[in-house]
Structure 1
């Protein structure tokens, strides 16, 4: 969840105690990695999320969004960052989507039944979809989890091999007035067992994320006091987890998502700030048991624009290709600064600059890289929200001007894309009609300048992504 206040109405104490006393199913059997295990053929990643813009206006959508990535760090939003499915019952919107591959190889999507930020809306249900391939979503329904007069926030699931069932965990308020992690068990995500308390450390916790069976240990990451921390247990039994880790945060951080690299022994932890249009931050470790994480350089990862509270799963190369074929990559790009990776190229009052994301309007940072107006082998930057305007240099500063159709304008608005001057995996842009000059930022303002020093090469290097 995001931007949530202190927990709301409490359930009745009698009902809560009855839930806590519910007899669990058999807890015998060998545990497995379950949902946290990648299929042997998996080679890419999929992210689910909803979107919120800074002003909760344009770019805000409480439907199911997906993005794909070959490395789990830089993401391509599908369907132009528009929703692929939208709830048709309950609050008619979702937050906190979660995506998991089931034991039969198909997928299930869970999400909070809540549209927007009406925190007084308390749903006993969560949204559920089935999907064979993430190209179609079927069987939409709501799954009832409890009878309390409180919420069912941030549902996630994992396979409990000992029970032979899926565990659905989520946040609800207990009789003492604070959030705990609850659990219900299900075989089909159509009906579920009576709820039980899964994790209650005696203080407010939300956003549980499970990693099952790593070296015989299970890890539960969650939000505590605006910080991401973890508990662990050698069992999956409710009540068996104990907090142990060093917390990480970047301001107020929530919505932990932990997954393992398919290419190395690296684990990643993603979390986002809980303001509208919050920013994702990422950490890494090679040892979950250590309980310590190292922050990733923001150069290495890029979230889908406006994305909030994500879930990440692995997919096969074929699924990755099929998703792009079905939904398409965006028709626009964003450009991230190399030496100020929290900043993106945007126009403000028609002047070109780099500013820290997020900002209004986010569409100010979206560009169509079209064939160069003066040379089709080069590129021109067409504004998405002012499509008659292009970036051009004027007295060496870049600004957004209407294409007047002249050859002079076309030349000023055309740039040759080259390997990044500071990193060949990124990009730099050389002026067409001033070929000794490159687009660079100076005091955050974009201009074209000769480039010679290491700092200038960094100023002139950008990542073209989404």
Structure 2
């Protein structure tokens, strides 16, 4: 993400949902935090939702919100379609309808569109895996613009094998308009049971950040790379974050000649940040500040006008 020539009033948006795993906090809806430096984020709206998704007046819970600009210049939000929950008398939550959740879950994802990050419309569930035999879930959808093909490459993790939790791979499909999609295919499967892929280009290569999640893995972020957006991908660096971490999102800080990698410590209930100049050696940054109970966020750069608009609406 290029920051050359940025207005001093500009900043960064941290879009997330809230959860304490196995605990009494669960807000599967869109939340915002803003930072001027990308290091210290302050929650907007008192750390309450800034948007609750609904379709035909029915609420839709979302996880893992990802926001980026599409080819048309509008913001697109993709998110995991969460299984419904109910709150128990002791204050904890349990999933409804699907007995093995989250091992199995809806095989669609949530889509919404916005021009100003305030009002979201064209809210739809996209059943992209409806024709894939054995598909059991669809987690953490994201997209990148492919400048060569002139479309969007949508990626996510899915299990289609008999082991459910233990056989996920990264899948992809292409779309120009988020209405029609190519047939889903496997993008990357190193046989490690992987989730939470994040993809971005740099210097004529594509870099895929992901989390191995096998029983015998230490569950921290790896990087694979390829000369082509649709692979094949090969590991560049492994174990680049502390364990247990997931939900990677990377921004390129050209103003500092650094990569900034944000990630979730879900079991330890906090967020982390590491920095690198070469994509291989990473240093954990101390002193970063993130919203309480934030989970699996995406980070985008804002203009000064966008910062002002969000602060006026939710500050």
Range class of TM-score, shorter chain: 0.7 to 0.9
Distance 1:46 1:165 in 2: 25
> Aligned residue for 1:179?
168
Q: Which has the higher contact order (CA 8 A, sep 6+)?
A: 2
2:222 paired with 1:229: yes
Give the equivalent residue in structure 2 for 1:53: 20
Q: Structure 1, residues 109-156: CA drift from partner, whole Å, max 9, x if none? A: 100001466314421210111010102111111112112431110101
1:188 to 154, 165, 177: 177
Instruction: Work out whether residues 145 and 152 of structure 1, in 8 Å CA contact, stay in contact via their aligned partners in 2.
Output: no
Q: 1:80 aligns with which of 42, 46, 58?
A: 46
How many residue pairs get matched? 285
CA distance in 1, matches of 2:221, 2:30: 24
Per-residue deviation at 1:164?
A: 1.0
Residue of structure 1 equivalent to 2:89: none
Write out the 4+ residue segments of structure 1 that deviate beyond 6 Å after TM superposition: none
Structure 1 residue 274: deviation in Å? 2.6
CA contact (8 A) 1:144 1:192 kept: no
Matching residue of 1:104: 72
Check the 8 A contact 1:153/1:171 in 2, yes or no: yes
CA shift, 1:92, in A, is 2.4
Matches within 5 A, 1:357-436: none
1:211-265: CA deviations, max 9, x gaps? 11x111110000013110000011112x411112031333311111111226311
Give secondary structure in 2 for the equivalent of 1:227.
coil
SS in 1 for 2:46: helix
Match of 1:92 among 55, 60, 82: 60
Matches for 1:240-319 after TM superposition, within 5 Å: 240-261=232-253, 263-275=255-267, 278-288=269-279, 291-297=280-286, 299=287, 301-319=288-306
Aligned residues of 2:63 and 2:80 also touching (Cα < 8 A): yes
Partner of 2:198, secondary structure, is strand
The equivalent residue for 1:352 is none
What is the aligned-residue RMSD (CA, Å)?
A: 2.1
Task: Give the Cα separation in 2 of the matches to 1:78 and 1:310.
Answer: 14
For residues 188-207 of structure 1, what are the structure 2 equivalents within 5 Å?
A: 188-207=177-196
Q: Provide the C-alpha distance between the structure 2 equivalents of 1:94 and 1:39, rounded to a whole number of angstroms.
A: 33
Q: Which residue of 1 aligns with 2:88?
A: none
Instruction: Provide, for residues 56-106 of structure 1, a one-character-per-residue CA deviation record: whole Å limited to 9, x for no partner.
Output: 32x420001111111111112122211122232598211111010123332
Provide the residue aligned with 1:218 in structure 2: 206
Cα distance in 2 for residues equivalent to 1:131 and 1:37: 22
Indicate conservation of the 8 Å contact 1:114/1:121, yes or no: no
Matched, 1:160 2:146: yes
2:2–2:253 Cα contact (<8 Å) kept: no
- Checking the alignment, whether the CA contact within 8 Å between 2:197 and 2:208 is kept in structure 1 is yes
SS in 1 for 2:237: coil
Asked if structure 1 preserves the Cα contact closer than 8 Å seen for 2:17 and 2:295, the reply is yes
What is the rounded CA distance, in whole Å, between the counterparts of 1:264 and 1:244 in structure 2? 22
Whole-Å Cα distance in 2 between the matches of residues 39 and 326 of structure 1? 27
Q: Structure 1 residue 163: deviation in Å?
A: 1.5
Q: After the TM superposition, which of the residue ranges 71-80 and 162-171 deviates more from structure 2?
A: 71-80
Secondary structure of 2:221's aligned partner: strand
- For 2:36, the equivalent position in structure 1 comes to 70
Residue deviations 1:183-233, cap 9 Å, x none?
A: 011112223211011111122111000111x11111000001311000001
What is the Cα deviation at residue 40 of structure 1?
Answer: 5.9
Whole-Å separation in 1 of the counterparts to 2:60 and 2:11: 31
Q: Alpha-carbon deviation of 1:54?
A: 6.1
